[in-house]
Structure 1
Amino acid sequence: MFRRPAPPPAGAIPALLQAGLTAQRQGQAALAEQTYRQVLALDPRNADALQLLGLLAKQAGQMAAARDFMEKSLKINRRQPNVLSNLGNLHLAEGRPADALACYDAALALAPGNQDYLYHRAKSLHALGKLAEAEKAVQASLSRGGQHLPSLQLLALILFGQGRLAAAEAANRQVLALAPDNIIALNNLALTLRGQHRYSEAEPICRRAVALASAQKEPWLNLANVLSDLGHYEESIGALREVLRRDAFDRDAHRNLARRLWTLGRTADLFQAVDQMLRQWPDHPTALDIAAGIQAEFGRGEEALANSARAVTLAPDDPALQRRRADLLLRAGHLAEATPILRALTARLPQDKPLWNDLAVALTRQGEVAAAREAASRSLALDPYDQHAIALLATLDRLADPTALAERAAIDRCVGVFDLPTPAGWADREQFLADALAVLNRLHDTVNEPIHLTLRRGTQTSANLFAFRHDPPLVALREMILAQVQAYVAAMPADPAHPYFGRRRGGVRFAGSWSSRLRDGGFHTHHIHPEGWISGVFYLQVPPAADKAGQEGWLTFGVPNLGPEISLPALHAVQPRPGRLVLFPSFMWHGTVPFQDETPRITIAFDLVPD
């Protein structure tokens, strides 16, 4: 005859749970686990023991087991807001913010107004990129108690992501008023000040963060970037090396270090950090991938391909490694190998615009025009103003129409050429340009061009020139350019559906500005400006060769730079003259004709976005 097991003695299970909690708080994980399993031996459906085992598993890094325990606990008793929140935290830690959000919503349905659940709900929305919803959620958390530091820190991050830098700065300062040594807030404040091009103000914040947390890499990386912005290159290099001492796999530090060494002409040191990493971790996929990126950028293409292939073999399911592999194959012209990788990646990551654009490029280069158009259109559907996708579609239109009537019409409608007057305070244009050139020549303090950009045989200033320099000639030039841009924008036709005219809002702001100095034989490769709306160039010094036949040093439009399979001639050229300003859509292919002349060609270029 079947007999039910005798029920446990009264009070046995609560006593065991309490004993397990005590052991857990004292760091005795093995004893705590043993105690919770004793509970389950007495009561296999004890939801508390299951969820506590889940927390233990999470602390031990056993994420799958932790998830299993928590889900079993919730299956027995769904009305456990704390377990729902813990499961949400687990999902968030594993990079599944949508699953986390569902857990926090369920927890809040059971415990409305719980500040911790509101905060984590905002955190999951932030991870999903839903910044407006995340801001509302974190404000709801703060309404429960405005001194909640995690919520204030998250608010600062959300505001930074929205480009609301002044508000982000205020939020970070509010955190620091409550916790002056908060490293996260110090790092974020430095990033916010740098985003506003207030490099001199950011520097002491970075140094304070380094002093407080020198063992962490983030303060060193922030300091390195700000020092580079300020032109303190050697100290910046030292800070980047400090980052790598703390994290040998920091991609930003490896990339920025190699690029800075290149611009300073220290080519013998370019691969030192990467080679040291490979000697120590020859079979680590991240090390191989970082090395491949640096090697490809600095001309060691075959090594890059080999290291990328090895990385993918070691970690075949890593999409970042597959992306690198596809990029290197495209560079090497191995289109048939790159295309299936890109197709698989776009299927796996359908919201990734750059992947759709890369697929469109690969297909265009293989003559698959219809499929390329579909891929570029997918990118444009994600962002109607994606400059790369617009440029790709214009190139496909031109390939279908050799007369290029549409692109010629776009150039006629959109390219503006203006010879600016002498600003107030200067007797003539020559003196004004001479004063501006005196400032710029001091800023061109490197040897080589930034290799990842479009300039060849010359130098380019770093940081946002118009934002952080207050020299009188640059201030005057900035105001002249803005006045001409405002008139240019005001003259745009009302056409909301147009990819260029449709972005007109009234105001504009500089997204970036820099000076380029081309020497004998210099030029710009054909390119677009993916971060802009209106791009422009102002000429301060032009070599005499620009007046000769052959259009040496001229600005050209209409030559796509997608690969050797796509060869189309320029549709329009503008002669540079000192004092001349040229404005054009950021999505329009443009470059310069190489020139042979001892006199450098010196310009200020910029991108503007609607404000």
Structure 2
Amino acid sequence: MRDEELEAMDNATISGLLNQAAAALKGANPALALQLTDQIIASRADVGPAHYLRGAAKAMLGDGAAAEAAFRQALKLAPDIIPARIALAKLLDQSGRSRDAVRLVGEHPGAPVPDLLFLSAEIRLRFGEFEAAESDCERLISIAPADSRARVLRGRVYIDSHKYAQAEEILTDAAEKAPNSPTAFFYLARARTQQGKTRAAREALKKAAALRPNAPSILQEQARAAYSDGDTEAALGFLEHAIEIEPRNPNLHRDLSQIRFMKGDDDHLRSFREVLANAPYDIGILSVYAGAARAGKDPQTALPQLDAAINAGVDHAYLWDARAQIHIMLDNISQGVADTDRAGTAPGIDHSTHLNRCSAYLSANLPEKALPLAEDLVQAAPLDQLALAYRLTAMCALDDPAAEEFINPDILTNQQAIDCPDGFDSLEDFNTALKARLLELHGAEREPIDQSLRGGTQTELFPLLEDDPLIRQLADMLLTNVRRFADGLPRQDGHPFLGAIPEKFEFSGIWTVCLRDGGHHASHVHPEGWLSSAYYVSLPASARNSNSGEGALNIGRPPMKALNEKLPGRLVPPREGYLTLFPSYLWHGTEPFHSEEPRITVAFDIAPRR
């Protein structure tokens, strides 16, 4: 375009170029869109839509910084350009600045806009800000009552805050108002699954699958519902079909491996090997494969594929970290430390990888390398119980006297009998009824692949809290004891436990464990809790002897063999009808026991109510 044409560019010409740029973007031609918008801006720099379309073109070309600058200029010139505000908010969210994204949405100067409210609610839900997310949903429903997205999102808020009955109610309404929405039926199924209504969940998923055939996410949910319903073969079939459609989805392979493992399949990792035959350097598949191999006690299986990728020049923190963990597990300590060091400087390093590096250094008896790394992790995430555990372990290994205030058993650990629920003559009668009910729930053939459990089974109790009277009574009694314990704790600013005592709290998880002869828990912590626990429903005779140590809870012994002699932990003998409470950042496991009778417990984590 000649200079005189630029000077003479009028609104009609600008409008025509904007339409051409929009069409170019729709046709996936960002280079042409950029050329057209640059022509407009060279003549008239005050045209907000031109800056917006320029930002969209830059985003498609992968230039996030330039896209952000263009979107901001568009909003500076014309704050009411809603697509620019949405695009910038999404860009901020994707780049890890989600709080800024929510703030930007809230700065919209005009009347509430459904798309902006929906985006704000989604981000807030992801951060666990349930009240704020629900408020956005209510506003969205009020201004767009026919928009089913708000009801579905509100149902998701209830699911994530464990209000499953309320979630089912609003998602049923959403599905009735939008019978062609697979998303509504998908989340309705999830709400039902969490309440133990697996048959009804599977019916909802059939409708979702009919509306969106061959969607891997729906097939994966169908597999989970089928497995919860005891239909293992159907669960395997759904996952195998999903993998045919999306073979490089690592989460599908992880779920398939877990179900095969729990079914007793010794070759539970074969789907990973099959996909790696065609995509040998897929970082996501390789890292999840390595994790599944470690969890299945077969770590060396994944080493050849990791070695091949690294030797081929694939440089990513996940691969170095995965190989480091396997070498540490196989007692190849020097190689594990070398790989851990390399992971710290490789592309893709993140918080979880740094946590694994802490574990590796402690496993190699290098607390002096673990401590500064753990300190940085705690500073970045003060309530991350795993980071706190690594810091405390390093402090203890280095004989730091300051560690004592984070362990003090006289204050931080408590064991007390629960109150006898109404309707029972004694706590013993209640536990007898509870034992019978819990044994009905333990139908798996072996322990979950990714848990601390060894030689037993584990079953979630969250789905039963609302509809099972006996489980509800137990939960109420447990919460009463937690409240009593929390109210008696001293407050201490800056302390990771005493400085974080919640005024209101809730279960962040609750489950039952049935251990068999020789069964035990490997030492572990619960990263998302504040308070962890063990309630003893039924103990074998060998574990009732407080002097035997069998079946006892060990608090404080880390899972790193190199530190076990220096940090042996302390034993807390189990007692039927008693609840043991302790901070979630303390390592805890159990001693094996030997008996034909099972050891049945209920465990839970407590977190601040969100």
For the superposition of Structure 1 and Structure 2, which TM-score range results when normalised by the shorter chain?
A: 0.7 to 0.9
SS of structure 2 residue aligned to 1:523: strand
- What TM-score do you get using the length of structure 1 for normalisation? 0.81
| Aligned equivalents of 2:331, 2:41: Cα separation in 1 | 54
Q: Is the 8 A contact 2:18 2:36 kept in 1?
A: no
Does residue 127 of structure 2 align to residue 162 of structure 1? yes
Deviates more, 1:357-366 or 1:520-529: 357-366
**437, 440, 451: which one aligns with 1:439:** 437
**Which residue, 499, 502, 512 being the options, matches 1:505?**
502
Alignment partner of 1:588 is 2:559: no
Equivalent residue pairs, number: 573
> What one-letter code is carried by the residue in structure 1 that aligns with 2:233?
E
Residues 298-336 of structure 1 deviation map (CA, whole Å, 9 limit, x = unaligned) = 233233111112233456244443443343344334444
Q: Which residue number in structure 2 is paired with residue 575 of structure 1? A: 573
Give the match for residue 253 of structure 2. Answer: 254
Give the letter aligned to residue 159 of structure 1: R
Partners of 2:374 and 2:367 lie apart in 1 by: 10
Q: 1:165 to 1:505 in 2, by over 3 A?
A: closer
Distance 1:205 1:146, change over 3 A: farther
- Alignment deviations for residues 388-433 of structure 1 (CA, whole Å, 9 cap, x no partner): 1211121122112299981795222111000123211111222211
Q: Which amino acid aligns with 2:582?
A: F
Q: Where do 1:87-486 residues align within 5 Å?
A: 87-89=54-56, 100-138=67-105, 144=111, 146-148=113-115, 151=116, 153-164=118-129, 167=133, 172-174=149-151, 180-184=179-183, 187=186, 203-268=202-267, 270-281=268-279, 287-314=285-312, 316-339=314-337, 341-343=339-341, 345-346=343-344, 352-401=350-399, 406=404, 410-462=408-460, 464=462, 467=465, 470-486=467-483
Distance 1:497 1:523, change over 3 A: same
Higher-Rg structure is 1
The aligned amino acid for 1:482 is: L
Distance 1:576 1:10, change over 3 A: closer
Say if 1:344 and 1:289 are closer, same or farther in 2 by CA, change over 3 A: closer
Q: 1:283 to 1:137 in 2, by over 3 A?
A: closer
Q: Secondary structure at the match of 1:502?
A: coil
Unaligned runs of 5+ in 2: 141-148, 153-173
* C-alpha displacement of 1:197: 8.3
Shift of 1:581: 0.3
Distance 2:469 2:558 in 1: 38
- Secondary structure in structure 1 of the residue aligned to 2:595: coil
Deviations 1:547-582, CA, capped at 9 Å, x for gaps: 344310011111111344654343322111211100
Distance 1:408 1:6 in 2: 72
Given that residues 53 and 66 in structure 1 are in contact (C-alpha distance below 8 angstroms), is that contact kept between their aligned partners in structure 2? no
- Cα distance change of structure 1 residues 147 and 71 upon mapping to structure 2, 3 Å threshold: closer
Q: 1:6 to 1:87 in 2, by over 3 A?
A: closer
Deviations 1:355-412 (A, max 9, x none): 2222223333444433321100110111111111211121122112299981795222
Does the 8 A contact of 2:79 with 2:109 survive in 1?
A: no
Deviates more, 1:403-412 or 1:256-265: 403-412
Matched letter for residue 102 of structure 2: E
Alpha-carbon distance in 2 for matches of 1:215, 1:535: 40
How far off its partner does 1:544 sit? 0.6
1:90, distance to aligned residue in structure 2 (A): 5.5
Is 2:540 the partner of 1:543? Answer: yes
Name the SS of the counterpart of 1:603 in structure 2: strand
User: Contact 1:116–1:141 (CA<8 Å) still a contact in 2?
Assistant: no
Q: Normalised by the size of structure 2, how large is the TM-score?
A: 0.81
C-alpha distance in 2 between matches for 1:291 and 1:397: 33
Percent of aligned positions that are identical: 26
8 Å contact from structure 1 (residues 346, 352) kept in 2: no
Asked whether the equivalents of residues 249 and 285 of structure 2 are also in contact (C-alpha less than 8 Å), the reply is: no
In structure 2, how many angstroms separate the alpha carbons of the residues matched to 1:199 and 1:135?
36
Question: 1:361 corresponds to which letter in structure 2?
Answer: S
**Residues 533 and 73 of structure 1: CA distance in aligned 2, closer, same or farther (over 3 Å):** farther
In 2, the alpha carbon distance for the partners of 1:229 and 1:12 equals 66
Q: Which amino acid aligns with 2:89?
A: A
Aligned CA-pair RMSD: 4.0
* Cα contact 2:518–2:593 (8 A) shared by 1: yes
Question: In 2, distance between residues paired with 1:208 and 1:50?
Answer: 41
CA contact (8 A) 1:365 1:566 kept: no
